[in-house]
């Protein structure tokens, strides 16, 4: 009775063991992804928020945004087929400064919006029109590493490398809000957001 070359049997067993190990690790990773998917949150990141900027600079930003499309509500609510169109203009101001030898920025964003929505509430067609100030945002960002506070003369020779920074953002509930309506320009919430970045 022959069982073949023992070395070949060992190599095949080793490959099978590696395949089983890989499959087990992959299954654990997929389980982790699927069980934590409901706690994944999105983050907004302002372009160049952590890029070094010479100390003492002031920026003025003016912009416009249009959002349109369907809105989703809790399925338990008798609200269906809701569509909205939001036009928003904003003005913003940013100032760069130095704190503890590192570059930082502080700023404010003041939006104004016009909202138009329509849909069905308990089978009855309804419309909603609103315009006014949306919730203003105030933020502070600071580089903790890699972006020293520099004047205009020193900045021209600066070469950016790894940066570690953090941002705090406060959105004040000062926008137009009607507690009797489900759709509003303002949120009537006071969120305080933070983020830490390494790039």
Give residue 86's pLDDT.
95
Average pLDDT estimate for 86-107:
94
Q: 102-159 pLDDT, tens per residue?
A: 999 999 999 999 999 999 999 999 999 999 999 999 989 998 888 899 998 888 888 8
Distance in angstroms (rounded) separating the CA atoms of residues 28 and 104: 41
Average pLDDT estimate for 23-41:
61
Residue 40 has pLDDT above 60, yes or no: no
Average pLDDT, the chain: 82
Give residue 7's pLDDT.
47
Q: Which residues contact 195 (CB under 8 A, 6 or more apart)?
A: 43, 45, 166, 167
From the number of C-beta atoms within 10 Å of its C-beta (0-12, 13-18, 19+), residue 129 rates as exposed
Give residue 161's pLDDT.
81
At 15, is the pLDDT very low, low, confident or very high (cuts 50, 70, 90)?
low
Average pLDDT estimate for 183-192:
89
Give residue 97's pLDDT.
93
The C-alpha torsion from 54 through 158 and 109 to 89, rounded to 10°, is 110
Give residue 170's pLDDT.
92
- Nearest CA among 89, 95, 90 for reference residue 59: 95
- The H or E element containing residue 143 is strand 137-145
**Percent of the residues in the chain that have a pLDDT greater than 90, as a whole number:** 47
């Amino acid at each position: 009775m022959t069982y073949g070359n023992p070395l070949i049997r060992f190599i095949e067993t080793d490959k099978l063991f590696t395949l089983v190990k890989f499959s087990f690790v992959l299954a654990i990773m997929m389980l982790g992804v699927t069980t934590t998917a409901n706690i994944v949150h999105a983050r907004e990141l302002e372009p160049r928020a952590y890029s070094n900027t010479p100390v003492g600079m002031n920026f003025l930003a003016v912009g416009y945004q249009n959002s349109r499309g369907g809105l989703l509500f809790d399925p338990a609510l008798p609200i269906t087929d809701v569509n909205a169109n939001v036009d928003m203009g904003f003005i913003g101001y940013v100032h760069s400064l130095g704190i503890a030898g590192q570059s930082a920025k502080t700023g404010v964003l003041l939006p104004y919006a016009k909202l138009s929505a329509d849909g069905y509430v308990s089978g009855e067609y309804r419309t909603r029109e609103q315009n006014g100030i949306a919730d203003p945002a105030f933020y502070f960002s600071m580089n903790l590493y890699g972006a020293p506070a520099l004047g205009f003369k020193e900045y021209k020779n600066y070469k950016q490398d790894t940066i570690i920074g953090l941002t705090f953002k406060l959105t004040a509930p000062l926008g137009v809000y009607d507690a009797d309506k489900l759709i509003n320009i303002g949120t009537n919430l006071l969120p305080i957001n933070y983020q830490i970045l390494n790039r």
